[in-house]
Structure 1
Amino acid sequence: MKAAVLKGPYDINVTDTERPEIGDDQVLIRVKRCGICGSDIHAYKGKHPDFIIPIIPGHEFSGVIEEVGSSVKRVKEGDRVVVEPLKVCGKCYYCRRGAYNKCTNLKVLGAQVNGAFAEYIAVDERWVYRLPDNVSFEEGAMVEPLAVAVHAVKRANHIGNNVLVLGSGTIGLLLAQVLKIYGASEVIVTDIKDWKLNLAKEFGAITVNPLKDDLKEAIDRVTGGIGVDSSFEAVGNEETLN
């Protein structure tokens, strides 16, 4: 099969590689669409310490099941699916308590094990979810980052009426939409790139470029001096965290 293999900084090539074999509890997925995450770009530039090189990147993807293992019961060949891109031990303290995202042996598809920048990928059945018929493969590839935004909003418990989102990259834009769905009246989104802010406006957000406008003054103007009830940091930059 064809796959894009990252071999080092700025060194990624499409090459022929072996199609993965599946175990009894796995499925073989023919990849239809795969997104490019910010983490993939950092890895491409040699700036992501968690990637094990060489690697086939890609963890935001959708596809069709082409083969199922002998123990697979929940899905079948031909199903359109998306994947939670994890491999966990199932035995550690966290896994036994359902907090598998904290697994002490956690591996992420496309980072520590081969991912979906390939024609095929083998995945454990437990991580596979069917796509509704009315959801396209393109939309399906966005399910994983959308889940990040939904999880963040749910963890916030009380988001309030006025919410600040720092950063209008993929996660920030998804947060803006999810926050509206969860009842936020005013969502203020910041970024230093106007083309990103224009996208946020399309989703009903009030936008601020802090290089051009004073953020505190903008928040006071929007909220009548009350301020925001909650905020979400979606940049991952030390300056915004501070």
Structure 2
Amino acid sequence: MKAIVKDAPNYGAKLVKVDVPKSLEPHEVLVKVKAVSICGTDLHIWLWNEWAKNHIKVPQILGHEFAGEVVSVGRDVSLVSIGDFVSSETHIPCQHCKQCRTGNMHVCQNLKILGVDMNGAFAEYVKVPEIVLWKNDPSIPPIWASVQEPLGNAIHTIFVEDVTGKNVLVTGAGPIGLLAIGVLKTAGAAKIIVSEVNDYRRDLAKEIGADVVVDPRKESLVNVVKKETNGDGADVMIEMSGNPQALKDGLTSLTNAGRASLLGVYDKDVQINLNDLVIFKAIRIYGITGRKMFETWYRGADLLKSKKLDLSKIITHVLDFDDYERGFKLMEEGKCGKIVLKL
């Protein structure tokens, strides 16, 4: 089969032929991939940054956001059947630790991540345990179904508390930030303010439905947020950028007793004034990783099935699988929303 493989500890990845996974463990499933989307994690591995150097063992098939059809199942599989149209959670839990047994499989103590700790889905076939599979409604196109994993990130980040009627600041309009804007529109947020340095993505944020879009290099984010909220500040801050200055400005922009949900990942330790920005303001901070298994999947699937959430503007490029290099280049340049490769 064709697969995009990180074959050496350097920049890039190669499209090569590898063996289709043959043997299945009792609870494993083989899926024929129809569509895969490129994630920021895949870009880290492509660039071979410090995170990738510390987490990836080469050679390895990349990718973890996909949709496809079940073509083979292990003897004890009961959750899916051959022919089912599926997507997959990418946090693979042990199912035995305290977190797994108390409703927090997404932060399993023995967590493995598809495409990071094991071969991923940038291939014609992928093998995964049945516990992570999600049966898709046939009405959802495979292109859309392939982005449910990052959509789940946005949903989990937003709905850790209610956002209805709230003024929400989104810092970072990368692919998940753009998904967050779409979800916030469906959730009845009062005003959506977006901070983004990339021209292309600022324009896209406006098109998707942001009420106010700020280039923090050219004007004070804090001043804009205060102006747009009658001097009170944002009720909620959704941090998607992984930029230390965005975090500081976002916390400063929050109203007293506001809420911050942090999904962005930072390159190194971040210094902030906890006294003034968090403690004395009584700010509630949530660290967000992955998705609630499978609470956020139900929410995301229902938004797509009902057509309340339209991904057509957020998915800016649908490319042939063999054209993967163009997809990664667009991700590097930031001249895209979500990119999907079709097989």
- What is the TM-score normalised by the length of structure 2? 0.67
Deviates more, 1:122-131 or 1:111-120: 122-131
Does structure 1 retain, via aligned residues, the 8 Å contact 2:94–2:110?
yes
Question: Within 2, Cα distance between the matches of 1:104 and 1:167?
Answer: 29
- Deviation of 1:88 after TM superposition, in Å, equals 2.1
Question: Within 2, Cα distance between the matches of 1:230 and 1:125?
Answer: 36
Question: Within 1, Cα distance between the matches of 2:206 and 2:140?
Answer: 24
Question: Within 2, Cα distance between the matches of 1:228 and 1:3?
Answer: 45
Percent identity between matched residues is: 38
2:125 to 96, 114, 120: 120
1:237 to 235, 240, 243: 243
SS at match of 2:70: strand
SS at match of 1:144: helix
Does structure 2 retain, via aligned residues, the 8 Å contact 1:27–1:123?
yes
Partner of 2:234: 228
Partner of 2:141: 136
Question: Are residue 18 (structure 1) and residue 8 (structure 2) matched?
Answer: no
- Deviation of 1:158 after TM superposition, in Å, equals 5.0
Deviates more, 1:92-101 or 1:78-87: 92-101
Deviates more, 1:77-86 or 1:2-11: 2-11
SS at match of 2:168: strand
Question: Within 2, Cα distance between the matches of 1:50 and 1:34?
Answer: 21
- Deviation of 1:39 after TM superposition, in Å, equals 1.0
Does structure 1 retain, via aligned residues, the 8 Å contact 2:164–2:190?
no
Question: Within 2, Cα distance between the matches of 1:87 and 1:229?
Answer: 34
Partner of 2:2: 2
Q: How does 1:1-242 map to 2 (within 5 A)?
A: 1-7=1-7, 8-20=9-21, 21-47=23-49, 48=51, 49-157=54-162, 160-205=165-210, 206-242=212-248
- Deviation of 1:11 after TM superposition, in Å, equals 4.1
Does structure 1 retain, via aligned residues, the 8 Å contact 2:34–2:69?
yes
- Deviation of 1:16 after TM superposition, in Å, equals 1.8
> What whole-Å deviation, never above 9, does each CA across 1:60-100 have from its counterpart, x for those lacking one?
11111111222222321111110001322222222222322
Does structure 1 retain, via aligned residues, the 8 Å contact 2:4–2:16?
yes
Does structure 2 retain, via aligned residues, the 8 Å contact 1:56–1:114?
yes
SS at match of 2:222: helix
Q: CA RMSD in A?
A: 1.6
Question: Within 2, Cα distance between the matches of 1:234 and 1:159?
Answer: 20
Aligned residue pair count: 242
Structure 2 gaps, min length 5 = 249-343
Structure 1 gaps, min length 5 = none
Does structure 2 retain, via aligned residues, the 8 Å contact 1:168–1:197?
yes
**2:159 alignment partner AA:** K
Question: Within 2, Cα distance between the matches of 1:11 and 1:214?
Answer: 37
User: Structure 1 residues 191 and 94, CA, compared in 2 at 3 Å: closer, same or farther?
Assistant: same
Question: Within 2, Cα distance between the matches of 1:153 and 1:11?
Answer: 33
- What is the TM-score normalised by the length of structure 1? 0.94
User: Structure 1 residues 166 and 220, CA, compared in 2 at 3 Å: closer, same or farther?
Assistant: same
Does structure 2 retain, via aligned residues, the 8 Å contact 1:25–1:71?
yes
Question: Within 2, Cα distance between the matches of 1:133 and 1:104?
Answer: 34
Question: Within 2, Cα distance between the matches of 1:50 and 1:182?
Answer: 36
Does structure 1 retain, via aligned residues, the 8 Å contact 2:163–2:187?
no
Does structure 1 retain, via aligned residues, the 8 Å contact 2:86–2:136?
yes
- Deviation of 1:168 after TM superposition, in Å, equals 0.3
